[in-house]
């Protein structure tokens, strides 16, 4: 169940970040409300995850997965530039997440 909560929390964070971009620097009310709503769900999910998982592992996976997924969203959806350094860095983030979970 911890993986369901963790996955949902990461998804809620990604949605909140997308609305953060749409808020245009927190100048549009509706996207701001979505940001607050989805971040509340994301943090609530993190609280549930910490019942079954150490906080440092949960947060490290949460943060690195969020960075990894947002980079992919930026590349494929927002058409942000791709570089070799960006791809290699994403690989290291992925290795770190795997290492934290499976070699603890």
Is 90 exceeded by the pLDDT of residue 82? Answer: yes
Number of domains present in the structure of the chain: 1
Domain limits for position 65: 2-102
pLDDT tens column, 7-49: 999 999 999 998 998 898 999 999 999 999 999 999 999 999 9
d(CA 47, CA 41): 10
pLDDT at 97: 79
pTM: 0.81
């Amino acid at each position: 169940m911890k993986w369901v909560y963790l996955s949902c929390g990461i998804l809620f964070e990604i949605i909140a970040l997308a609305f953060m971009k749409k808020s245009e620097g927190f100048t549009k009310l509706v996207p701001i409300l979505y940001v607050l709503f989805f971040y509340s769900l994301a943090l609530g999910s993190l609280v549930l995850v910490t019942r079954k998982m150490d906080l440092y592992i949960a947060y490290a996976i949460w943060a690195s997965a969020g960075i990894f997924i947002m980079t992919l969203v930026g590349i494929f959806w927002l058409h942000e530039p791709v570089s070799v350094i960006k791809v290699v860095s994403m690989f290291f983030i992925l290795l770190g997440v795997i290492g934290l979970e499976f070699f603890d």
